[in-house]
Amino acid sequence: MKNKTRLLVETMKRKTKEELIKEQVKFHDRIRKQLNLNIVDCGNCGATIVHKRKVDDVTCPDCLETMEVSVCPDIYYKEMLKGN
């Protein structure tokens, strides 16, 4: 019986996918605002790139491709959330 109760409590504590995405968006916003950095996926190979905000081009440290920031999607952003 204890195991079933513990499993139920653990299940109740788990965050939903939407809650986890909200948390990631919050972290990403803090990084952008406080450190003036952005986290994106490489538009060529999908690797993670951290770059200074307000730049036109970035070079991926994995594939060495230089590209416009506009082809590198943000990892988490407010528009991902339902209702935005």
Instruction: Tell me the per-residue pLDDT of 1-56, one tens digit each, with 9 for 90 and over.
Output: 566 666 655 666 788 888 988 999 999 999 999 999 999 999 999 999 999 999 99
Domain boundary assignment for the chain:
36-84
Q: pLDDT tens digits, residue range 52-78?
A: 999 999 999 999 999 999 999 988 877
* Confidence bin at 81 (pLDDT 50/70/90): confident
Report the 10 Å Cβ neighbour count for 57.
Answer: 12
Q: What are phi and psi of 75, to 5 degrees?
A: -75, -55
pLDDT, residue 14, reads 83
Which residues have C-beta within 8 Å of that of residue 49, sequence separation ≥ 6? 39, 40, 41, 42, 58, 60, 61, 72
Cβ atoms of residues 84 and 78 within 8 Å: yes
